[in-house]
Amino acid sequence: MLRREEAGLFLGGSRVVIAPALLLGMLGAVMERLFGHQGADAAFREAAYRAGVACGANVHEMLVERGVEDPWEMVRVLVEHVMPGLGWGEFQLVEMRKQPLRIVVRVSKPYVEVTGISSSESPICYPMKWLLAGVLKVVLSEAGFSGDLEAEEVKCVAMGDPHCEVVFREA
């Protein structure tokens, strides 16, 4: 999935940077402290969702090159193989419904576990959920989906839940 070139690491045509999970966790914590939960979520939606959409075409192309052409199978492969391979955690596709669109993803051992944040009153996996939402939007466009996605984290290890769980649906 990842390939090394002289200029760095790439996933499909998108350059990736390896950074400590602590950086993302602390960034989320600082955003929350400065802007509150809703402000942090809105900021990551703007940044990570756009990044996911920008990378989505490359992920789609990479999956097609590997023989995955059905958009719904792409969702499964993206969730269960690509995201874990990038270090976000252990992902499981819990539910995938086409009408109305609803995708539920469970994440065990998420990157936020290493941040030491374990007493949040609200879910904090902003970058993970919005990045995945952006990539899902592009992959699902091949199945005729043309809207935006909402991502709601309904469980989070930082709130004391045993795993994180995100529900994606049409906005």
The CATH number covering residue 96 comes to: 3.30.1380.20
Write out the two tokens for 58. Answer: 């490359």
According to the model, what pLDDT value does residue 70 have?
94
| Residue stretches of the chain with pLDDT short of 70 | 1, 114-118
**What's the predicted TM-score (pTM) here?**
0.89
DSSP three-state, residue 24 = helix
Cis peptide before 127 (omega within 30 of 0): no
- The rounded distance, in Å, linking the Cα atoms of 52 and 45 is 10
pLDDT in tens, 157-170: 988 899 999 999 99
The whole-angstrom separation of Cα 64 and Cα 42 is 32
* H helical segments located in the chain: 21-44, 50-65, 71-77, 83-85, 126-141
10 Å Cβ neighbour count for 6? 4
Q: Which residues pair with 102 in a beta bridge?
A: 97, 169
CA 44, CA 31: separation in Å to the nearest integer? 9
What is the per-residue pLDDT for 28?
Answer: 84
Task: Give residue for tokens 């469970």.
Answer: 106
Domain count, the chain: 1
Best CA proximity match to 135, nearest among 75, 52, 57: 52
Give the domain extent around 135: 2-170
